[in-house]
Amino acid sequence: MDDVKTPTSEERKTALSGLGTSRKRVEDARFTQGKGNYVDDIKLKGMLFGDFVRSPVAHAKIKKIDTSAALALPGVHAVLTAADLEPLGLHWMPTLAGDKQMVLADGKVLFQGQEVAFVVGDDRYAVADGVALVEVEYDELPVVTDPFKAEMESAPILREDIADQKEGAHGPRRHPNHIFTWESGDKEGTNKVLDEAEVVADEMVYYHRTHPCPLETCGCVASMDKINGKLTVWGTFQAPHAVRTVASLISSIPEHNIRIISPDIGGGFGNKVGVYPGYVCAIVASIVTGVPIKWVEDRMDNLMATAFARDYWMHGKISATKDGKITGLWCHTTADHGAFDACADPTKFPAGFMNICTGSYDIPVAYLAVDGVYTNKAPGGVAYRCSFRVTEASYFIERMIEVLALKLGMDSAELRSKNFIKKEQFPYTSALGWEYDSGDYHKAWNKALEAVNYKKLREDQAKQLELFRSGKSRKLIGIGLSHFTEIVGAGPVKNCDILGLGMFDACEIRIHPTGSAIARLGTISQGQGHATTFAQILASEIGIPASDITLEEGDTDTAPYGLGTYGSRSTPVAGAATAMAGRKIRAKAQMIAAYLLEVHDDDLEWDVDRFVVKGAPEKFKTMKEIAFASYNQAIPGVEPGLEAVSYYDPPNMTYPNGAYICVMEIDVDTGVSEIKKVYALDDCGTRINPMIIEGQVHGGLTEALAISMGQEIAYDEQGNVMTGTLMDFFVPTAWETPNYETDFTETPSPHHPIGAKGVGESPNVGGVSAFSNAVHDAFKPFGLTQAHMPHDHWRVWKIAKDLGLHN
Amino acid sequence: MIPSAFKFYKPDNLQKAVALMADFGDEARVIAGGHSLIPVMKQRLTDIKHLIDLSAINELKGINIKENSISIGAMTTQVELITNEELFKVVPIIREASLQIADPQVRNLGTIGGNVANGDPANDMPGLMQLLDATYKISGIKGIREIKAREFYEGAYFTAREDDEILVSISFNTPTGGYSYEKQKRKIGDYATAAAGVILNVDNGVCSSASIALTNLSDTPVYCSDAVSMLIGKQIDDSLLSEVTKSCVEQSDPVADQRGPVEFKKYVAGIVINKALKRAFERS
Ligand SMILES: Cc1cc2nc3c(=O)[nH]c(=O)nc-3n(C[C@H](O)[C@H](O)[C@H](O)COP(=O)(O)OP(=O)(O)OC[C@H]3O[C@@H](n4cnc5c(N)ncnc54)[C@H](O)[C@@H]3O)c2cc1C
């Protein structure tokens, strides 16, 4: 007996694979074997397909739609147009931003790729032939793709449906193409500081239009069961519960008769938050035909029509004392929203959390105004791997810091350091009203500068500059610095809702008799690895090994209500709910253990996976034993079973932050850049799974690289999409992806039950500035202040040319 | 992205394929690797009623290396061009250029015949064939004829091949001398922003023969005859190569696209051409 040792606490802790362990992703076994179950894998009996006739032009009146040839084609069952949807009141639908959007073109089209008619047929092939046979007569109208021109007197009126409406969802409108003005901060105070400042830097920073481009495009299968009146929709939904409520509100189908299921999702990045015409048409078509309808976009549809990101023209002014203490920040943003305001933001925030644009800095006074504008471009404005408009805000301030450093003749690393919010200032209330929860920016910054040997980098850069100046090389080196602060985890119900739905989230746990468990959440993983990490949170909370905990999300009939996964909200909100529900389980387990051990509750203490009698370590009950007892003991005053649910309304957002540095070599003649180094330090509070964090950072950095160096949705003046395929829309492959060095500091969030802040989007937020600043930095010695992204070959070449660097 | 309906044929010899083409005229198209054709079919930019697959025709396959010349069957894939060691020994520029085409997935299926017959000015092989002064063997219902690659390209997607003719093989004399194929592109899987191939023979610093060709810098591949005559008989140095580069750029006529405006492309063409010249000179 002697050699059978009771495992130590440490050993038992390791066996749980709880918080802080690099547990392998449980999802990967199926994904790497091609055994995932995505929307397009769903095949139901009698299922038909639907697809869109899309507008080839950006702005036109529709004179006529002739569906007869399509309908005559064998295999085509129906063609829906706005006229068919109108009696149901579904030819338009509300957007998440308080606007409305055409489901199918109602008399006119407003952007290239807009949905005009929905063809339903036996299979994709019949439908594609049907789509080609629908004849639409367009009467073209003048096009406006420039948001500044859209507000001119002479601009064509895009939204004739609301042309006379002087008041929009977010206040007064000053022009038929104007959507809203959103203000934050102290206008007069800021103007006064700017007027009296010793130094002011003034710059226009454009964050171009791009697209989340998930590997899997958007789609759904809608199935109306006419016998029991129940509608089931499988879809690529980042927010299945919200979709159910919205579907009920717009279709008048009672909410209990709607079941929304998000199966495996092949990446979302914000692209799958909104409600798209395809979903509505598939549902209507299923109701009309009585059979399931599948709609899945192709790549071109997705890039052209489904939810772009960014497109913010940010005019900034930043003031400082001569020695570099920032005194004020002013920003006016012109936001190009496309044809409908379909941004996926919390209701009260038409420009998202753009007012986090004071960044990581202690800025005494600030003012922000955002004007939303309609243009003949696709609607969207989603948060592409970032919290609502946070990457725009972060890019803005990180560019303004660089521009200010130029003006001051100061090293921008030092300028940042001089103005960071200090550790002891947290919780810190920013000039634009946010309460930053925690951070130690100086620590992170110093660690980063040391890790890359910043001084040496600058010396190497200077040497290369010498070689360039003496004609020995045509290459320059740029060092891109970025310190970002995100605001994620939306959010407190008091100020965050989507269509009136508070942005809490939920977790429900059931412990089985043998001591394993199932937990269900209101979120939905799209690659983040929730089934892995949430089980880890729970393992640490309730002492059941992560491998014994099943995680389920995405089925509105079984999962508790939650607002879904985007804006890095899963860990801050649903992760907190998970911990809180776990604590409820533990509280009940403690009562059961006390009963079994015949002691008072207070005489017990928690030890990894068991309750132990204080002072008598040989007397304990493990969670496994307690679980079984909960099913077979009649404990006075305690209900049988071991279950808990928690709906968590976060008291505040969380504020992940980090320090990123990129070193880039640029050939001034070809515009070709080569990434020499990327260092990314993240502080996401408590680290649940370091391996998953690293994976998230790699993925996010790669998207940031894409966005800053080439990825864009470009339009010509006629409103034609110029980047409709992956030939021209840049998605990096392994070849273009550099090595990443990751690092961390760990400053837990004081208000989150386990101190975690969320990390999935940080690298996109911090990365774009690091890459873009590197390009700017390379040309700094020649007087470059601002050059808009994406920094693809020809635009970088153009910088060099404009600076006179070509002979 | 679904193409319109078509009938599919897979003849097992050239004669049958030629007969099918003659029967269906311009309603028919041959398919080789499909990596240029299928994308346009899926976007319904072209409507093909009869698709004739050449993959079962052995006469169209294989690399035949003779004493002073080489002949390559139209259906030889790009990956075969890269991995064939014998070919690499005699014409290393083919591997160098082929490795810069698209990505491994495309090269596994894409063929040399499809690449040169397609008439897409963005394709790399037509430029390479200018460089090698290749001859295309073409078969039609009226028999077999030969066309020089330098006379084959008439405009973007327009070539001297009749609609019902099939490219059988490509042949050229084994080149000697230094070589280089330089290409600038935005990413893996992209066509050239600008690309140039050079072959140089140099005796005691004097150029004895030369060939220069450009890819995606005009609506057809460009053979730079003026630049070649500037080189021959001259002592090669940096300033001559700059002059030659300038002449090549003058012969280019690129169009603006998402890769950039004309001015940029011409500038990059100059860089790429000059690099190729220098590299070929170093290797000569
Ligand atoms: C993503 C992507 C990137 C690419 N990048 C490059 C690149 O960088 N450089 C480059 O050179 N190419 C590139 N390509 C094109 C690729 O090399 C194609 O494989 C090639 O152009 C066509 O060869 P194929 O065998 O696939 O021909 P197919 O696509 O089958 O045919 C192309 C055309 O040629 C005709 N054809 C084919 N064979 C014959 C024949 N024997 N006789 C008569 N007509 C014939 C067909 O009818 C068709 O019109 C790219 C393709 C893709 C999809």
C-alpha distances out from residue A746 to A229, A464, A755, A770, B63, Å: 51, 36, 10, 21, 61
Could you read off the pLDDT of B116-175 as tens digits, one per residue? 999 999 999 999 999 999 999 999 999 999 999 999 999 999 999 999 999 999 999 999
Q: What is the mean pLDDT of residues A340-344?
A: 94
Q: What is the mean pLDDT of residues B57-81?
A: 97
Sign of the alpha-carbon dihedral angle for A396, A397, A402, A408: positive
> Residue A471 above 70 pLDDT?
yes
> Residue A729 above 90 pLDDT?
yes
DSSP letters for A741-779: EEEE-----TTSTT-B---TTHHHHHHHHHHHHHHHHHH
Q: Is B21 touching ligand 1 by the criterion CB < 6 Å? A: no
Q: Is residue A4 very low, low, confident or very high in pLDDT (cuts 50, 70, 90)?
A: low
Interchain contact, A794 vs B103, CB within 8 Å: no
Best of B1, B2, B216 to disrupt the A interface by mutation (most A CBs within 10 Å)?
A: B2
Could you read off the pLDDT of A543-558 as tens digits, one per residue? 999 999 999 999 999 9
Could you read off the pLDDT of A59-105 as tens digits, one per residue? 999 999 999 999 999 999 999 999 999 999 999 999 999 999 999 99
Torsion region of A306: left, alpha or beta (phi above 0 gives left; psi -120 to 50 gives alpha): beta
Q: Is residue A1 very low, low, confident or very high in pLDDT (cuts 50, 70, 90)?
A: very low
Give residue A3's pLDDT: 56
Which chain B positions have a beta carbon within 8 Å of A673's beta carbon? none
Q: Do residues A774 and A664 touch, judged by C-beta distance below 8 A?
A: yes
Q: Distance between CA A792 and CA B259 in Å, rounded?
A: 8
Give residue A344's pLDDT: 87
Q: What is the mean pLDDT of residues B244-254?
A: 98
Least CB-CB distance to B258: which of A299, A722, A733? A722
Q: Is B167 touching ligand 1 by the criterion CB < 6 Å? A: yes
Closest residue in chain A to residue B189, using alpha carbons only: A727
Interchain contact, A125 vs B5, CB within 8 Å: yes
CA-wise closest residue to A211 among A93, A299, A101, A109: A299
**Among protein residues, the one whose CA lies closest to atom 1 of ligand 1:** B189
Q: Do residues A558 and A630 touch, judged by C-beta distance below 8 A?
A: no
Could you read off the pLDDT of A255-264 as tens digits, one per residue? 999 999 999 9
Catalytic residues of A: 238, 385-386, 761
Q: Distance between CA A334 and CA A373 in Å, rounded?
A: 7
Provide the 3-class DSSP secondary structure of residue A496. coil
Least CB-CB distance to B264: which of A714, A723, A794? A794
Q: What is the mean pLDDT of residues B222-250?
A: 98
Q: Cα A87 from chain centroid?
A: 36
Q: Roughly what angle, to the nearest 10 degrees, separates helices B262-283 and A793-802?
A: 100
CATH number corresponding to B178-283: 3.30.390.50
> Residue A807 above 80 pLDDT?
no
Q: Is B113 touching ligand 1 by the criterion CB < 6 Å? A: yes
> Residue A5 above 90 pLDDT?
no
Q: Distance between CA B22 and CA B52 in Å, rounded?
A: 12
> Residue A434 above 80 pLDDT?
yes
Could you read off the pLDDT of A358-377 as tens digits, one per residue? 999 999 999 999 999 999 99
- The DSSP call for residue A158 is S
**Could you tell me the distance, in angstroms and rounded to a whole number, from the CA of residue A796 to the centre of ligand 1?**
31
Pull the structure tokens for residue A588. Answer: 């009940």
Burial classification of residue B204, based on how many CB atoms lie within 10 Å of its CB (0-12 exposed, 13-18 middle, 19 or more buried): exposed
The residue to mutate among B24, B36, B109, B157, having the most atoms of ligand 1 within 8 angstroms of its beta carbon, is B36
Share of chain A above pLDDT 90, in %: 98
Q: Cα A772 from chain centroid?
A: 20
Closest residue in chain B to residue A51, using alpha carbons only: B1
Q: Do residues A59 and A376 touch, judged by C-beta distance below 8 A?
A: yes
> Residue B59 above 50 pLDDT?
yes
Could you read off the pLDDT of A444-466 as tens digits, one per residue? 999 999 999 999 999 999 999 99
Could you read off the pLDDT of A139-161 as tens digits, one per residue? 999 999 999 999 999 999 999 99
Interchain contact, B267 vs A797, CB within 8 Å: yes
Count of helix runs (H) and strand runs (E) in chain B: 12, 14
Question: Integer distance in angstroms from the first to the last C-alpha of chain B?
Answer: 48
Which chain B positions have a beta carbon within 8 Å of A671's beta carbon? 264, 268
CA-wise closest residue to A714 among A145, A59, A140: A145
- Which fold is adopted by the domain B7-53? 3.30.43
DSSP letters for B192-249: -SEEEEEEEEEETTEEEEEEEEEESSSSS-EE-HHHHHHHTTSBP-HHHHHHHHHHHH
**Could you tell me the distance, in angstroms and rounded to a whole number, from the CA of residue B119 to the centre of ligand 1?**
9
Q: Which residues pair with B155 in a beta bridge?
A: B158
Radius of gyration of chain B (CA): 19
Sign of the alpha-carbon dihedral angle for A288, A222, B5, A729: positive
Burial classification of residue A298, based on how many CB atoms lie within 10 Å of its CB (0-12 exposed, 13-18 middle, 19 or more buried): middle
Residue whose structure tokens are 């505040």: A652
Burial classification of residue A403, based on how many CB atoms lie within 10 Å of its CB (0-12 exposed, 13-18 middle, 19 or more buried): buried
CA-wise closest residue to A719 among A263, A69, A57: A57
Which residues belong to CATH 3.30.390.50 in chain B?
178-283
* Number of neighbouring beta carbons within 10 Å of residue B184: 24
CA-wise closest residue to B74 among B123, B43, B31, B45: B31
Q: Distance between CA A459 and CA A774 in Å, rounded?
A: 15
CATH number corresponding to B58-173: 3.30.465.10
CA-wise closest residue to A347 among A524, A503, A236: A503
Q: Distance between CA B108 and CA B111 in Å, rounded?
A: 8
Chain B residue set in contact with A, beta carbons under 8 Å: 1-2, 4-5, 43-44, 103, 184, 186-191, 193, 258-261, 264, 267-268, 271-272
Q: Distance between CA B142 and CA B146 in Å, rounded?
A: 13
Interchain contact, A129 vs B186, CB within 8 Å: no
CA-wise closest residue to A800 among A672, A699, A693: A672
Q: What is the dihedral of CA A106, A112, A113, A117, to 10 degrees?
A: 30
Q: Distance between CA A398 and CA A543 in Å, rounded?
A: 43
Average pLDDT along chain A: 97
Give residue A6's pLDDT: 79
Least CB-CB distance to B260: which of A298, A672, A794? A794
- The DSSP call for residue A555 is B
Least CB-CB distance to B2: which of A128, A672, A722? A128
Interchain contact, A669 vs B268, CB within 8 Å: yes
* Number of neighbouring beta carbons within 10 Å of residue A713: 24
Which is more confidently placed, A498 or B151? B151
Q: What is the mean pLDDT of residues B178-206?
A: 97
Could you read off the pLDDT of A555-568 as tens digits, one per residue? 999 999 999 999 89
> Residue A738 above 60 pLDDT?
yes
Q: Do residues A124 and A339 touch, judged by C-beta distance below 8 A?
A: no
Torsion region of A258: left, alpha or beta (phi above 0 gives left; psi -120 to 50 gives alpha): beta
CA-wise closest residue to A209 among A701, A566, A714: A714
Which residues belong to CATH 3.30.465.10 in chain B?
58-173
Give chain A's domains with CATH numbers.
Answer: 9-36+505-648 (3.30.365.10), 39-141+217-265+272-305 (3.90.1170.50), 396-487+653-802 (3.30.365.10)
pTM, 2 dp: 0.97
Interchain contact, B261 vs A727, CB within 8 Å: no
Interchain contact, B103 vs A806, CB within 8 Å: no
Q: Do residues A270 and A383 touch, judged by C-beta distance below 8 A?
A: yes
Which residues belong to CATH 3.30.43.10 in chain B?
7-53
**Among protein residues, the one whose CA lies closest to atom 51 of ligand 1:** B35
- The DSSP call for residue B173 is E
What was the ipTM of the complex prediction?
0.97
Which chain B positions have a beta carbon within 8 Å of A302's beta carbon? none
